[in-house]
């Protein structure tokens, strides 16, 4: 059976109220494993550094207790020692991008080497101590760069259109090994510092990371990833007849970073959360035990008391996806799961009133209709409400997870952006005359923001991820223009390092007169003066200093309605004047009545150390009254069979990408 959202909401409230309050919580946690960490042995051979929990940690080479070098905010990664063992270089995220830093062994003298809007990664200190090599996407793909300490200048060593990354100095400092994902010659390459020539020394069709030379330069280790596996390998680059061999067991999950050599025979690497000591044969691999302590800096606060009882006349505070009408007099918005129309006095009435989820209310250019999406059939379908007749016309089904809609200037078509997971998206158009829904764009390798028609009806603009390289997903959200035949007609130029929106209902949004694109960037509202092709004709203008979201234009292109932190506001484009939009609407919080028994196959009740099996949860109204071992036909009222399910309290923190655009799941 389908269990409605209202039941689960009431059950969540009831179960949360049942949870005890834990007054005593630990102030620190000692851990003995790490995720995706790298290891680097000091040139002295007496100590090593690992990166774990966003910090660099120093510990004895044979294991033991680790002490932090950097703070917990930098997400410091991939350390490399200076040849004298006094300093480390690494990549960190303090500035909002990956940059290269150096720091003394004792954590002092933290120095930033690279800066700017692009990423720099995987630093490696030269054997003579005079420079650092690293990979950066500064030129549009990843290339290898060298920073010299004496001149404090950076030069680019490679410049192929493919990605070159993971650089590593040879022990004699005469060459640099790196990985290239060149489609025809992928694998491990070397760059000669003397001749400035590049050569392929180890072809590989798999994804390669973590290239490292042995101390004598005769052996090279590297990581290969393919089909869910991550394994450690080695080769002899100077011996063309030697076939690469696998070191680690196929069951191991080897972390994709450089190994760190102890001597001519032994090295350290990380795998399955552990630090491992091994040799090329892999026969004498052993685990090095370590531990580190993380402080839990919990703020002291008074726990908010929640009232789960019915209450009347509560102010409506959750206002979603507000859209200003063309005449600037009304607002359509999602509140309490339904579409409301709010007049200029802040009073409102429901346009829909059902148990389904509505999304993306959009006024027609003339203001006589309102398009919206609803999952009444289990998937999202496009509806149009006619204000004159009150009729709601179903147009058709929309595939994927919609991110927004836009009426064409002629009001004959509606464009809809939909996403198919985090990396695929497509724009569809619905013809309101014929009822046909068809693809406008091909399937694009990014999620897409809401579409916006140009005033002449020739172009559809939307935001899309524009990665700085094909190696990683980092980049900016840019604006692209497609025509109705599905041809890419251009991109918004001149804002290469400004990220526009989060690929949702936050722009770009063409003004009805075609003079501007409105968009959110870094949480603020901007307008971009554009020509008919969507290209800049003047400098972009930031309109707000406060946080803003979900902009919509008035029909005369003079005002923009937007969501501020805790209110709705309008801004006049010409004067910059900002005014609050008053909304005075209330709702009544109700609670279910009657008795209910939930048969839970597996239950976590928030008090027991172990999960419980085959339990009955008794609910009276909106309160849990008892939990006990299941008995057939026990209790009265509604019976919910969750004997094949896991039942637990709600409001548990977790990582999920499911949002309202997926609707109510069956």
pLDDT confidence of residue 307: 85
pLDDT confidence of residue 351: 95
- Bridge partners of 478, per DSSP, are 464
pLDDT tens across 87-106, in order? 999 999 999 899 999 999 99
How long a stretch of residues is the chain?
Answer: 666
What is the C-alpha to C-alpha distance for residues 55 and 72, in angstroms, rounded to an integer? Answer: 5
Closest by CA to 272, choosing from 36, 30, 31, is 36
Beta-sheet pairing, 623-629 with 612-620: antiparallel
Q: From the CB of residue 516, how many other CB atoms can be counted at a distance below 10 Å?
A: 24
Q: From the CB of residue 337, how many other CB atoms can be counted at a distance below 10 Å?
A: 18
CB 548 within 8 A of CB 564: yes
What is the C-alpha to C-alpha distance for residues 470 and 162, in angstroms, rounded to an integer? Answer: 8
What is the C-alpha to C-alpha distance for residues 136 and 120, in angstroms, rounded to an integer? Answer: 4
Question: Which residues fall within 8 angstroms of residue 29, CB to CB, at 6 or more apart?
Answer: 293, 294, 296
CB 542 within 8 A of CB 525: yes
CB 484 within 8 A of CB 440: yes
Note if the pTM is more than 0.85: no
- Bridge partners of 580, per DSSP, are 569
Instruction: Please name the residue that has the structure tokens 């158009």.
Output: 429
* Cis before 508 (ω within 30): yes
Q: From the CB of residue 117, how many other CB atoms can be counted at a distance below 10 Å?
A: 14
pLDDT tens across 495-551, in order? 877 899 888 899 999 999 999 999 999 999 999 999 999 999 999 999 999 999 999
Closest by CA to 355, choosing from 338, 367, 343, is 338
pLDDT tens across 231-256, in order? 999 999 888 778 899 999 999 999 99
pLDDT confidence of residue 22: 42
pLDDT confidence of residue 664: 59
CA distances (Å), 475 to each of 113, 132, 209, 270, 627, in order? Answer: 21, 24, 21, 29, 51
Beta-sheet pairing, 348-350 with 338-342: antiparallel
The one-character DSSP state at 486 is: S
pLDDT confidence of residue 605: 87
Mean pLDDT by 10 residues, the chain (666 residues): 34 42 69 96 96 97 97 96 98 95 97 95 98 94 97 95 96 96 93 94 92 94 92 89 90 96 94 95 90 87 85 91 96 94 92 91 97 90 96 91 93 94 90 92 93 96 91 90 94 88 91 96 96 95 95 97 94 94 90 92 89 94 92 88 90 62 54
Closest by CA to 220, choosing from 243, 204, 236, 198, is 236
CB 540 within 8 A of CB 517: no
């Amino acid at each position: 059976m389908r269990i409605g959202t209202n039941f689960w909401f009431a059950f969540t409230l009831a179960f949360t109220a049942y949870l005890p309050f834990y007054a005593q919580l630990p102030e620190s946690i000692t851990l003995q494993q790490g995720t995706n960490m790298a290891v680097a042995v000091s040139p002295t051979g007496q100590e090593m550094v690992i990166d774990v929990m966003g910090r660099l940690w120093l510990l004895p080479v044979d294991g033991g207790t680790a002490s932090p070098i950097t703070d917990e905010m930098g997400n410091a990664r991939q350390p490399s020692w200076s040849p004298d063992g006094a300093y480390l270089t690494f990549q960190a995220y303090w500035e909002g991008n990956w940059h290269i830093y150096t720091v003394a062994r004792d954590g002092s003298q933290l120095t930033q080497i690279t800066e700017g809007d692009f990423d720099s990664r995987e630093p490696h200190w030269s054997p003579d101590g005079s420079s650092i090599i690293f990979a950066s996407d500064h030129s549009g793909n990843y290339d290898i760069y060298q920073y010299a300490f004496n001149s404090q200048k950076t030069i680019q060593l490679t410049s192929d259109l493919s990605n070159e990354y993971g650089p590593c100095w040879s022990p004699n400092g005469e060459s640099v090994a790196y990985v290239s994902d060149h489609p025809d010659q992928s694998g491990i390459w070397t760059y000669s510092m003397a001749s400035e020539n590049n050569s392929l020394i180890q072809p590989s069709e798999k994804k390669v990371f973590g290239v490292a030379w042995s101390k004598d330069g005769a052996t090279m280790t590297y990581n290969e990833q393919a089909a869910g596996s991550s394994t450690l390998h080695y080769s002899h680059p100077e011996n063309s007849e030697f076939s690469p061999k696998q070191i680690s067991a196929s069951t191991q999950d080897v972390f994709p970073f450089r190994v760190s050599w102890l001597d001519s025979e032994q090295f350290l690497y990380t795998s399955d959360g552990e630090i491992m000591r091994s040799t090329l044969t892999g026969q004498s691999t052993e685990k090095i035990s370590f531990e580190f302590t993380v402080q839990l800096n919990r703020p002291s606060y008074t726990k908010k008391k929640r009232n789960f009882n019915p209450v009347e006349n509560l102010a409506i505070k959750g206002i979603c996806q507000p859209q200003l009408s063309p005449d600037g007099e009304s607002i359509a918005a999602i509140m309490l799961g339904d579409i409301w129309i709010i007049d200029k006095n802040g009073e409102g009435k429901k346009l829909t009133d059902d148990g389904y989820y509505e999304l993306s209310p959009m006024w027609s250019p003339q203001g006589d209709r309102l398009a919206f999406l609803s999952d009444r059939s289990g998937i999202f379908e496009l509806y149009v409400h006619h204000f004159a007749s009150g009729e709601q016309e179903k147009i058709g089904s929309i595939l994927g997870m919609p991110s927004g809609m836009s009426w064409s200037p002629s009001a004959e078509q509606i464009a809809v952006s939909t996403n198919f997971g985090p990396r695929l998206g497509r724009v569809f158009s619905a013809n309101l005359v014929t009822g046909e829904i068809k693809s406008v764009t091909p399937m694009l390798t990014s999620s897409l923001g809401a579409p916006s028609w140009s005033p002449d009806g020739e172009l559809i603009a939307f935001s899309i991820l524009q990665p700085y390289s094909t190696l990683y997903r980092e980049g900016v959200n840019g604006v692209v223009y497609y025509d109705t035949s599905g041809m890419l007609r251009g991109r918004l130029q001149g804002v290469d390092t400004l990220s526009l929106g989060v690929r949702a209902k936050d722009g770009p949004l063409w003004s009805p007169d075609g003079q501007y694109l409105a968009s959110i960037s870094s949480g603020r509202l901007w307008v971009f003066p554009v020509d008919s092709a969507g290209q800049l004709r003047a400098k972009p203008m930031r309109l707000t200093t406060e946080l803003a979201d979900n902009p919509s234009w008035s029909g005369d292109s003079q005002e923009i309605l937007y969501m501020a932190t805790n209110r709705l506001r309008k801004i006049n484009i010409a004067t910059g004047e900002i005014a609050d939009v008053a909304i005075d609407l209330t709702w009544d919080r109700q609670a279910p009545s009657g008795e209910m028994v939930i048969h839970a196959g597996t239950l976590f009740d928030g008090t027991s150390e172990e999960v419980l099996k085959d339990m009955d949860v008794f609910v009276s109204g909106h309160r849990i009254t008892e939990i006990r071992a299941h008995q057939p036909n026990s209790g009265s009222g509604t019976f919910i069979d969750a004997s094949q399910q896991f039942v637990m309290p709600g409001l548990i923190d977790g990582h999920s990408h499911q949002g309202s655009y997926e609707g109510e799941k069956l």
